[in-house]
Every structure is written in structure tokens, then in C-alpha cells.
A and B are shown apart, each in its own frame.
Chain A
Amino acid sequence: MSQDVLLKVDDLKMHYPIRGGVLFRQIANNYAVDGVSFEINRGETLGIVGESGCGKSTVAKAILRLYEPTAGAIEFDGKDIINMSKPDLREIRQDMQIIFQDPMESLNSRHTVGTILEEPFVIHGKGTRAERRKWVTDLLDKVGLQSDSVNRFPHEFSGGQRQRIGIARAIALKPKLLICDEPVSALDVSIQSQILNLLLDLQREMDLTLLFIAHDLAVVKHVSDRIAVMYLGKIVEMNDAESLYKNPVHPYTRALLSSIPVPDPERKKVHDVLTGEVPSPINPPDGCHFHARCPYAEQICTKQRPELTTTNSNPNWLVSCHLKENFIN
């Protein structure tokens, strides 16, 4: 792995105040993201996987400063994002783009595809009218859409094609970082594979760095170099994709892996069924967030919060569990 870090997130926290009572005072906090740190190297794909409400999308939006994080530091391409002024932020957002789960909601239904794709160039004052038109056609070609799409509206396209439009818009300004927030979870299987292939191709061609967020571990593993597993606002395990799958250590990672239905009827169906449900991020449990559902929990797990630290065997392998060394091998 090269040491050329593009994005560095340090102890990111995003707490939402919960208000209530007669005077509408703040009565509690929703600890949506509670101390997340990671780095992404240039050209690399980091996958973030986790169940609903674990804070994975909040991390994505905080990186773009679509949300104002409560605490923490974000450094992108050597620049501090958190304390950046509005004009600077606009400038730097050319280099960091996002695609969303539902392209129908993120594309303006009253604009033609041509207008939608031209907008990034207009906002950043690039090119003449004729040049921009040419670029739009190039973009459509790049994401596998016909050039006559420019005069059509988003509703005339299928879900997969709309996601292609969303991708085209995101790569228009040749960003360095592309954040993909559940880009394929609304799509059918045969379309999903087309979009995943497209993302892999574009990454190779344009030297993109990807932050890929999804709840489907098989999908995340397919596109990622490294994977971070999130649970209730924290990263519980981070490792390179192959090792995470072959040698999961955190009990939650293991439960997640064994919960996935495998498309192979011959394989024996042994599942560790995880009991209970994800606790609320408003009142996260003391100690390890996972202890109430963890089959291995000991005294210490209920009292002390584990840190995300490297394992003895491998400095790139981070696990947040008091008992991790017992589980390794």
C-alpha cells in the first residue's frame, strides 16, 4: 500500500440534539457517529458496511460537509475541510463527489439530462456552451448511455440508467474522490452488476479514489480494497477485503458474515443467529456497544468501551474488542 493519503478522517463525531419537554430544551443526544477515524489512499477503495442506522451515510455526508460535524478533523488532499470557508469549500467539492441510492430523488425531474449534466460545468464556470455540450456527450458515452439522451427527462429512464446519469454527473468534473452511498441497493440483480462493473472501469480509467458505502457485504467486498465494519456509530473492525472475509474477528463482523444467505443450496446452513436488535444510538449501552448481543461478552465488555486498535499480528488490521487476541486464529 502506498502511503499517499487522499482523505484522512480523525475522530469524527456527529451528534444530533434531541429536543423535547415544555421548553423544547435539549434532552438527549443521538450519537449517530461517535468517533470514527480512517484514511483512504489515492486510487484505493474503502468500503463501509453496516446495518441501517449505524451511521455510514452520516459519515459520507459529513466528509462533504453536507452536515456540520460535531467534532473531529477531516483532511482532504492535504487541506482541512472542517474549517474551510464557503468559497474554498465550493472549489474543493469539484474534487469530491457523491452518488446516492435513489437517483430519482437526486436528479431534478424538471430538467433534461443535458441540463443536469451541464450544470457542474456551469457552476464552476468551465468551457463555452459548445465545449460543454461536447463534454456532456462524452460523459454519456463514458457511462454507457446514448447521446440522444440529452433531450430526455430522468423519468424516461429505468433505475439503472438513472444511476448512470447520477454517476455521469458525479464524474463530470473529474473528481479525485467519489463517495458512493448505497449506489446499487435499489437496483435489480442484473442491473446491479452492470453498475458495479461501470464503477470499477471508471475507477481504473480516471484513477478515482472510492468510498463505497452499502449494507450488502458481498457487494462491498466485490469493489473494495479495504473494508470498515460499522456498528452503532463506531468502526468495529477494519481490514483488507479478502482478510476481513476469510478471517473476521469482531463478533459482530462474524455474525454479519454468517447472516448473509449464500446462493448455494449445497452449502450447509449454519448460521449464528444474532439475537436482539441494534440498540438506539440515543442511549447507546455502556461499555462495548455490542455487548448485549454478543455471545462472548464478559464483565469488562459491559463496563469499559473498547478502542479500535491494531492487532498484534498485523498493523493494518484494526479491531475494537477487548477479547480480540483470543479470537485471532
Chain B
Amino acid sequence: MASQDVLLKVENLTTSFKTDEDQITVLDDISFNLLHGESLGIVGESGCGKSVTALSIMRLLPKPAGQVEKGFITYKGDDILTLTTKQMHTIRGKKIAMIFQEPMTALNPVHRIGKQLGEIYQIHFPDMSEEDSRTAQIDILNKVGIPAPEKRLREYPHQLSGGMRQRVMIAMALSCKPDILIADEPTTALDVTTQNQILNLMRELQREIKMSIIFITHDLGVIAEMCDRVLVMYAGKIVEQASVNELFASPRHPYTKGLLDSIPRLDTPSKSRLEVIEGLVPNLKNIPKGCRFRTRCDFEIEQCGVTDPVVEAISEDSSRTVACIRWKELSK
């Protein structure tokens, strides 16, 4: 981490979705900082709220169902949540960009790559000439490692392979040199060897552009390779926050421990039993009182069901947090 400046600050963010019957709180009072130039990983299982965190920051929650109930998202002194739509246009895509899991659904199938890339320059740099825009497009495609970019500009998304499409998505996201890149499961749909290429590319580009990355994934291997710091989410809450080395070396929350123990690794003997987290993720409509993880936790005591565990800072600079009332005795 080059400097300790906070680039994006999320405070007490609570987001809910309306359904026909009731309102479901999907993010419940989450707070974290994104520092300058760092890669922050968000890890958790389906439905834990990782993507909703990203969409809340981008103000892309599906309307009218999704709604930020309370909290602040401060980017360079401005609260993103109070900006007008017009002001948001100058930030979204230009300062904070996003790439998605499935590039085929994020790209428009009926427009050529060149048109979709050109659109970004049209919107964010309206004064740019057609020719300059074309040069910039070719440059950025070169940068993300797409061979013969002139030819690719005239092609449609279906003519590209999955890996190439994701490269195009990255090119689109980086074309304005954003401060923050939010990558939501960017390699989940790709094969391992392609994933490896894309992760390498992202690492190189981050070094070059010096942006901060929020890396959302369920794959702890990807987290270990890509991130400086990690947030672990469970059922709409951040249960633990730590530097990547600390998290893997000494996980404090029982959920993080369970998660780390349950992945099959190449160096464990074949056919051995895996550690499991019993049970299922609770339904967000029907969250257990107190700690949300307690129904699956091996260390549940009566107290766990009484109150929500507070997010406790457990390192001197308070960069490491855990939300478990028993973390101290369990880490002995």
C-alpha cells in the first residue's frame, strides 16, 4: 500500500429490496474504507450481499425494488448517494468503473465492439474527434492484449471468445483511467488458464494506472492472489476484515475459519473428508436473532442469540475487525 489515504468511505450502508410481500434488508449496516491504490477483496457466498455492495456504490440498484435505506458512501469528499443523476454521470464509468461476471450479458450483442467502446469517449469526452477516439480505442485494446485490434473493432461480441470478451470489458472499464475499478466475479465464468491470463492482466494494469480495485469473488484462491485486504461477508453483514496475510494465517471469525477449512486443496491427501460448515445460509427474510451465523456455528452460546455482535476493531490501527462475541477466547 503506497499511501494510507482513504479514497472511498462506506459508512453504515443499509440496502433493502422490496418484494410483493415485504421488504428484505440485504445489506445491514456495513462500513469499510477503500484506500488509494489497494486491492480490496470482498468474499462470501451467494446472497451475502457482495454484489449489492457494488451496485449500491455505483448507484445501479434495480429500481424501484432496491433502495439504500441509510448510510453514506463518500468519494473524494462527496456523498455519492446525494449526487444528482447528472453529477453521477461524471463519476460512474469515468472515476468509478465496473466489470461484471458474464461479459456476454454486459456487452450489447447487436453493436460492434468499436461502437460500444466509442460510446464511452462520446459520453465522457464529447470534444474528442472521431479519429482520436479510434486511436484511443485501438490503444486500449492493445493494452488489454487483444491481437489485431483494428479488426476486432468491427466485430460483434459473439465473434469473440469468453476471455476476449472479458478483455473488451476491461478495456471499456479502463478507457477513462478510473480511480476505482469494481470487479464483480470477473473470472468466474472463465476457464482456469484464461482466468490466469485475465488476473495477470489486471495486476499489470493496476500497477500502471495506479487505481484501487474492489475485487468481488467467492474464490478464496483468487482473493489470496489478487488482494491486499479482505472483507468477509455473511448474510448482509461484514463478519471480518483483515489484511490478506492475517486473514489466511489467523482467521478470527468462525465463519472465515469454516470457509478456509472447507475448500479442497491440491496439497491435502485425496479422498480425505473435508471440514464442513453444516446447514445452509439463512433466508434473508427470516434472519435469526442475534448473530446471523450462530445456527451454523460450532461455538454458539446462549449469548449469541441475544444481541447482534458489534464490529470490534482488534488491531491497533483498527484496520482489522471482527464481529463475534467469542473471538478472543476462540483465538487462544
Contacts and interface: CB of A to CB of B under 8 A. Distances in A.
A255 B192 CA distance: 10
Contacts of A262: 221, 224-225, 265-266
A269 B196 CA distance: 11
A193 B271 contact: no
Contact of B280 (A160, A218, A242): A160
Interface stretch (B4-12, B115-123, B254-262, B307-315): B254-262
A194 B225 CA distance: 26
B276 A265 contact: no
B189 to A, nearest CB: 10
A164 to B, nearest CB: 11
A48 to B, nearest CB: 15
B271 A222 contact: yes
Interface string B261-286: 01111111111111111101100000
A277 B263 contact: no
Interface residues of A, number: 49
A259 B196 contact: yes
Contact of B221 (A224, A241, A260): A260
Contact of B200 (A216, A271, A278): A271
Interface string A268-284: 01010111011000000
Nearest to A222: B264
B270 A221 contact: yes
Nearest to A204: B271
A200 B273 CA distance: 8
Contact of A263 (B163, B221, B278, B281): B221
Contact of B196 (A191, A216, A271): A271
B101 interface: no
A312 interface: no
Given A190-B262, A196-B264, A277-B161, A261 B224 contact: yes
Contact of B270 (A160, A192, A242): A242
A158 interface: yes
Interface in B146-161: 161
Given A189-B262, A190-B277, A261-B221, A277 B163 contact: yes
A217 interface: yes
A223 interface: yes
A263 B270 contact: no
A218 B265 contact: yes
A263 B274 contact: no
A245 interface: yes
Which of B191, B245, B258, B272 counts the most A-chain CB atoms under 10 A from its CB? B191
Which of B193, B268, B269, B278 has the most C-beta atoms of chain A within 10 angstroms of its own C-beta?
Answer: B193
B215 to A, nearest CB: 12
Interface in A141-182: 158, 160-161
A256 interface: yes
A259 B271 contact: no
Nearest to A226: B270
Nearest to A52: B191
Interface of A: 45, 51-52, 158, 160-161, 188-194, 196-197, 200, 215-219, 221-225, 241-242, 245, 255-267, 269, 271, 273-275, 277-278
A-B complex: 9 closest residue pairs judged by Cβ atoms: A261-B221, A222-B264, A193-B262, A51-B191, A259-B196, A188-B45, A193-B274, A190-B277, A263-B220
